Amino acid sequence: MSLMVGLSCEENTVKGGMGNLVKQAQQMQQRMLKLQEELAQRTVEASVGGGMVTVTVNGKHEVLRVKIEPQAVDPDDVEMLEDLIVAGVNEALRKAQEMVGEEMSKLTGGIKIPGLF
């Protein structure tokens, strides 16, 4: 009989531990969703070509704005402008990814979760 009580108590401990783990995972998920909403409102900016092209991106990795200085527009050298735009977008996206990674790292305590960021 005492063996049965011991097993029952152990089962309760395991179930309680699992319930607590599930609760913690749900809380983490809620915090992550809130952080994602906050990051969607935050922006980063990258300027290339000495400020000729400036790109603004949000925390959802969406390009919000591309500003091109008039002197960067040369009909005889469209390729240069295209290269500046690509470089600006890539740099802004890199900065946004870095921002998201830093914030997610704070949330997870530095633990890298595959597929998260």
Residue 116 domain flag: no
Does a structural domain hold residue 113? no
**Token pair for 31:** 């915090």
pLDDT for 111: 72
pLDDT tens figures, 11-23: 555 556 778 888 8
Over residues 53-80, the pLDDT tens digits come to 999 999 999 999 999 999 999 999 999 9
Instruction: Report how many domains make up the chain.
Output: 1
pTM: 0.72
**DSSP alpha helices (H): ranges in 42-116?**
78-108
> What domain range is 22 assigned to?
2-108
CATH number at residue 82: 3.30.1310.10
Decide if 89 is inside a domain. Answer: yes
Residue 35 lies in a domain: yes
For the chain, what is the radius of gyration of the CA atoms?
Answer: 24
